[in-house]
Structures are given as C-alpha cells and as structure tokens.
Amino acid sequence: MTGLMPHNHGVLEVLYPKVPDLHALRTDKVHWAERMVDAGYRTGYFGKWHVERDNALDRFGWQVNGVRGGALFNGLVAEVLEGKPLRPECDPAHYLEAPHGYGPHLFYGVTDRPAEERSMGLTTTLALRYLEEVVQSDDPWCAFVSFEEPHDPFIASREFYDRYAEQELPPPPNADDELADRPGLYRRAQGIWRQLNEEQKRTARACYFASISEIDAQFGRVIDFLEGMGKLDDTIVVMCADHGDLLGAHGLFFKDISAFEEVYQVPLIVHGPRIARGAVCQGRVGLHDLCPTLLELADCEPVDGACASRRMWPTNGLEVMPNTLAIATG
C-alpha cells in the first residue's frame, strides 16, 4: 500500500496486537491509490481488506468500498444468498480436535454451494459491476480484487474438489522432516499435521488445490470481461498472493509458524502494455515493490520515502534485486 517495510510504516501486527496502535494503518503515509486518484484515476477495492480495522478505505485512496463486511458487499450478500449464511456448512468430519483449551477447528471441507454464492464469487461479481461502469467512461481506473481463498479452512465446491478427488496427491518430499535443528515451537506445531491420517492429508491437499482452481476461474471471469470489452490489451493486470501454505511440508500445516520457501515463494504475474509477454524472471521481489512499479506503469507520481521498494525492472542492466531475503529451503 505504501511501498514501505513494516518498520518504516509502523504497522507491526495484523491480528491480536498487544499494543492496539501496532495495527493502525497510518494516514500520514501516502498510499499508492491516493497517487492514482491525484492523477485522475477512479479507484475501487473489493473483497478482503486485511490492512486495518475500520474499513475506512476512503482515507487511503479507494473511492468505491466493496470490502467484505461493508455496506456494498453486504447488500450483494442479501441479494444473492437471501438469508443463507455467507460461509457454508461442511461435513463435521472435517473438524479436527484442537489442543486443550481450544475448540474444534475446521481445517478443510467440501460444499455443494457454488463459488458465485460464496465470498470469492461475490467479490468477483462486485468487481465486475464496477468494471461495467468504469470501462465505458473516458477516465482511467483501478480495481483491486482481493480474494481470501485459498486460506484455512480450505473450503472448495464439490465441482472443483472432484477434479482432484481421485488423484494421488502425495505429501511433500520433506514431510518427514524432524526439524531437529529448529526451535521447539516448530516441532510442537507438527502435531497438527501428524494428527491427520493419510486419507485426511490427501483430502486436505485436494481441497487446497481445488480452491486454487476456483480462484483461477473467478480471475478468468474478470479477464474474460475485459477481453470481451476490448480492454484487455490496454489494461495492466497483476495477479499476486501474500503467501503460500505448507500443506505438510516439513511436517507442518498452514503458514504461520516459519519462514520456509513453501510459504514465501509465490507466483507474481504481470500483463499489460510495455510488459514482455511470456517472460519469466527469477529475481527476488516483494509485494512492497508493486507500489513504485504500478505508479510508474500508470504514469503517476511516485510515493516519497519508499526506501526499501523499487520498481520491478532494472534501469542499469543489472538484476532486478539481489537475493537479500533469508528463507529456509529444502
């Protein structure tokens, strides 16, 4: 949002901070969406807003607020679901016992409710309604479509789950890692994965992969719309993710506990004018680098003070960024 690292923008926690101020998004730091508004862009944000607690997106440059839990999103929920809960019920067998003192936790599940009646589909529908309006105007625009999935609990529709139900989906080759040289917290967390039997592990992985395929289909709805309107070749499209998931790698479930490559090494796809098609780059970049990159591609003023971020292409023939981030591999 700002092109800054946490120690520069001050937001050091997202959930359950001991000091409330540590999760308060600063308005004194310029956000890249504000720069776009200054340049005449129309902006809209849709889906998961995992940045601050007030959902006050107008303070950060977003003119249309389509975040989950907001008035626009809730209106679509009421329209489409007609009183049904947003999160569908799942087979109780997918609830696993948590450690003493915690309630049962839903890890994964299969639902008969299609994506269009769940958070991912509703997010896409809101974004498409926005695009139907803005692409017909002469104003430049920016739409941020934020999906929660794939995220625990890994809920997938039966249609997409069935694509993976009969596949073997073996565990990662390092699933038996004892983590003998790691902190004891890592080894304790392995108990979550180890309480699953082999069929449960395979099903959990199938649900995760099915969820990714569902997201791909939702992303395809946006791409198909832009292509149908003749706008795709003139649009900068960025597909990114904040993290991956361990799914049994190193004998761990989820993504919170450690800095392994399965969590940190995620795809980043960029399409648009002045961008090479089909090119693959192995340079190490971070999401904070999107701030200066997008602003330059959109011919907007840069954000001052984005000291740790840089645009994602070289200016001097060198690599985009040296590998200065330390993560565990293997």
* Beta-bridge partners for 43: 142
Residue with tokens 């915690």: 102
What does the pLDDT read at residue 291?
A: 92
What does the pLDDT read at residue 11?
A: 81
* Domains of the chain with CATH codes: 6-148+213-242+255-297 (3.40.720.10)
What does the pLDDT read at residue 317?
A: 43
What does the pLDDT read at residue 102?
A: 57
**How far apart are alpha carbons 121 and 113 in whole angstroms?**
11
Burial class (CB in 10 A: 0-12, 13-18, 19+), 3: buried
Q: What angle do CA 128, 68, 132 make, to 5 degrees?
A: 10
Its sign, for the CA torsion 119, 122, 128, 134, is negative
Cα dihedral 13/102/147/35 (nearest 10): -10
The bridge status of strand 105-106 relative to strand 95-96 is antiparallel
**Which has the closest alpha carbon to 131: 236, 22, 12, 225?**
225
Cα dihedral 189/195/197/198 (nearest 10): 10
Query: What are the φ/ψ torsions at residue 30 (nearest 5 degrees)?
Result: -70, 135
Q: Which two tokens stand for residue 142?
A: 């920016």
**How far apart are alpha carbons 282 and 144 in whole angstroms?**
25
**How far apart are alpha carbons 2 and 290 in whole angstroms?**
9
What does the pLDDT read at residue 114?
A: 92
**Which has the closest alpha carbon to 145: 214, 222, 46, 49?**
46
pTM listed for this prediction: 0.88
What does the pLDDT read at residue 63?
A: 97
What does the pLDDT read at residue 306?
A: 52
Please say whether the beta carbons of 263 and 245 come within 8 A: yes
What does the pLDDT read at residue 95?
A: 62
What are the distances in angstroms from CA 130 to CA 71, 119, 217, 221?
15, 17, 19, 13
As averages over each run of 10 residues, the pLDDT of the chain (330 residues) reads 82 74 80 96 95 86 93 93 80 60 75 93 97 96 95 90 89 92 89 86 93 96 98 95 92 84 90 88 85 92 68 50 48
The alpha carbon of 312 is separated from its chain's Cα centroid by a whole number of angstroms, namely 19
- Buried-state track 262-278, b at ≥16 Cβ within 10 A, e below 16: bbbeeeeebeeeeeeee
